[in-house]
Amino acid sequence: MTRRILLILLATIALNAAIGMLLVVNGPDHHAFWSTHVQSQVIGLSIAAMCWAVVPRVERSEGDPKVAVPLFGAAIVGGALGGIQLAELATRALFDEPTQVAAGHGVMSLRTVLLSLTVGAIGTVVFYSRERLRHARTRAESEGWRAIAAERTAAQAQLQALRAQVEPHFLFNTLANVSALIDRDPAAARGLIDDLARHLRATLSHARAESTSLGEELDVTASLLGIMKRRLGERLQWRFDVPEALRAVSVAPMLVQPLVENAVKHGIEPLSAGGTIEVRARREPDGTLVVEVADTGRGLPGTGDPASAPDPTPQDGSGTGLVNLAARLRAIYGPAARLALRENAPRGTVARLTLPPRPAGAA
């Protein structure tokens, strides 16, 4: 327990230092290095302390979003506002100067408040997701579930591991984009923060569910693509070719979104010209659902069945994520479910999900 708290504290301090560096580099006074870092640490630790204080109440609710979202939201806002006041006192005591907020640097004040709230929200979502995964593993070990239940718990762990591989890349890119927009376009920065907040709320609720509809999965994916497009602009295009009747089909959550994230990160982003992502779905005569995520990006080094190779792209981690997703598919749907890759024409990759009519073991 002590080691876990220490690791969380160190991670918080490191994140605060990164935010402090962003403020120094992009701020009006590049010489206020130490005072800016003190402000960042005080505000960040204040938010972390407030969030930590509500964790027991959230745990008693078993992570119910109706309890967790308002409590963490209030903790983030309260921690940010209180932290700004504490930062003012600390800066005056140590450097005999007011904070950038108290000094009245208008855009800088907005930058500090927006970054405090954004980073607090991102850090809380990541921390909360990992804590829920840790508690799920503990419960699985203590209760001694039967083989099928243990297998499905492992599938959920693979889901969380898959998210942990992709989310930091997406979140920190979005945060850097917010920082860049605050100076030249505060309205766009606020819009991006609003989009990010809506996406994180939807993702938190979506990932908790044992099943969802294909339409809901596509809605969450579209929200993610909208945020990415703010950063990539015309380099990222996408379209969904999914019959309306198939949007109501029940599927396991977080099947399409990881493939789209992977396509953007490893296919579209590396190309200066960008590319297009197309998500399409069809129903086979035997009831099998086929979902494809096709991109016109760089393409992956390996094709075929991701489970047939331990790690097709170990240098960037995408192969491990695909192997985890393939294993999770088979744990939930049985051996008939598959994730396969093939080359797209004239360029890029197609990832195909093959899902049987109902999950393995369903009544």
pLDDT of residue 317: 40
pLDDT of residue 138: 67
Q: Which residues pair with 349 in a beta bridge?
A: 295, 343
Q: How confident is the model at residue 290 (pLDDT cuts 50, 70, 90)?
A: very high
Q: Give how far Cα 284 sits from Cα of 163, 203, 213, 244, Å.
A: 29, 29, 18, 16
pLDDT of residue 1: 57
pLDDT of residue 218: 93
The answer to whether residues 301 and 291 touch, using CB atoms and an 8 Å cutoff, is: no
Write the Ramachandran bin of 151: left for phi over 0, alpha for psi from -120 to 50, otherwise beta: alpha
The pLDDT tens digits of the residues spanning 182-194 come to 777 788 778 888 7
Q: How far is 60 from 93, CA to CA, in rounded Å?
A: 40
Tell me if residue 244 falls in helix, strand or coil: helix
Q: How far is 313 from 83, CA to CA, in rounded Å?
A: 43
The pLDDT tens digits of the residues spanning 139-181 come to 656 655 454 455 555 555 555 554 544 455 566 667 777 777 7
The pLDDT tens digits of the residues spanning 114-129 come to 766 777 777 677 766 7
Residue 42 has pLDDT above 80, yes or no: yes
The pLDDT tens digits of the residues spanning 304-321 come to 444 443 333 333 444 556
pLDDT of residue 199: 75
Identify which of 81, 78, 101 has the alpha carbon closest to the alpha carbon of residue 91: 101
Q: How far is 322 from 347, CA to CA, in rounded Å?
A: 20
Mean pLDDT, to the nearest integer, of 217-240? Answer: 90
Q: How many residues does the chain have?
A: 363
Structural domains of the chain, with CATH: 1-97+104-159 (no CATH), 166-303+321-355 (3.30.565.10)
Q: Among the listed ranges 75-79, 238-242, 286-290, which one has the minimum average pLDDT value?
A: 75-79
The answer to whether residues 123 and 168 touch, using CB atoms and an 8 Å cutoff, is: no
Q: Give how far Cα 117 sits from Cα of 46, 75, 120, 178, Å.
A: 12, 10, 5, 12
Mean pLDDT, to the nearest integer, of 325-351? Answer: 89
Q: Which tokens is 261 given?
A: 């994230």
Amino acid identity of residue 49, one-letter, is A
Tell me if residue 296 falls in helix, strand or coil: coil
Residue 63 has pLDDT above 50, yes or no: yes
Q: How confident is the model at residue 65 (pLDDT cuts 50, 70, 90)?
A: confident
Q: Give how far Cα 223 sits from Cα of 7, 203, 353, Å.
A: 32, 10, 21
pLDDT of residue 304: 45
Q: How far is 351 from 349, CA to CA, in rounded Å?
A: 7
- Which of the pair, 144 or 263, is modelled with greater confidence? 263
Strand locations in 60-160, DSSP E? Answer: none
Mean pLDDT, to the nearest integer, of 241-261? Answer: 91
Mean pLDDT (the chain) is 76
pLDDT of residue 189: 79
Consecutive H or E run containing 300? none
Tell me if residue 235 falls in helix, strand or coil: helix
pLDDT of residue 105: 46
Mean pLDDT, to the nearest integer, of 354-361? Answer: 71
Report the range out of 86-95, 135-144, 237-246, 300-309 with the highest average pLDDT: 237-246
The pLDDT tens digits of the residues spanning 89-114 come to 887 788 776 555 444 444 345 666 67
